[in-house]
Structures are given as structure tokens and as C-alpha cells.
Amino acid sequence: MKDEYDLSAMKSRKNPYASKLKKSVTMRLGEDVISYFKSMAEESGVPYQSLINLYLRDCVATHKKIDINWHA
């Protein structure tokens, strides 16, 4: 193995999977929801946006359905 490698001749290229990893979206969340996930983030050391993503991913994996009953 060489002590040093010359990487100046290498061509950079985009990650072909980058667009499939995550997509940026804008959502309006209640302050109570944000506070809840931020407090969990402080306890766990995981960023709150990652916790929200993990929770939603779990909903997808377990096929959770929301039960909404609108009362008049």
C-alpha cells in the first residue's frame, strides 16, 4: 500500500441513490407535537426530525390507520 495517493485526477460524481434517501417537505405541526418530539430528542440524543421520521416509518411498516370520528 502506498503512503500517499494522488486523488486530484479523480472525477467526482453524484450519488445515484441520494434522491431516494429522503425528500424535503414542508409540514405544519402543532407546537405541542414539536415540543413532544424535541423533549424525546433531548432524552435520546436523536434529532427530533429523525424521531418524527422513525415514528412515521413505523406507522407505514405496521400499516397503522387513523380513526377519525368527526362529531357534529
Question: What angle separates helix 48-61 from helix 31-44, to the nearest 10 degrees?
Answer: 100
pLDDT tens across 16-29, in order? 887 778 888 999 99
Provide the pLDDT for residue 40: 97
Provide the pLDDT for residue 30: 97
Candidates 67, 15, 21, 24; CA nearest to 49 is 24
Candidates 71, 33, 70, 66; CA nearest to 52 is 33
Provide the pLDDT for residue 71: 80
pTM over 0.95: no
pLDDT tens across 1-56, in order? 788 888 888 888 888 887 778 888 999 999 999 999 999 999 999 999 999 999 99
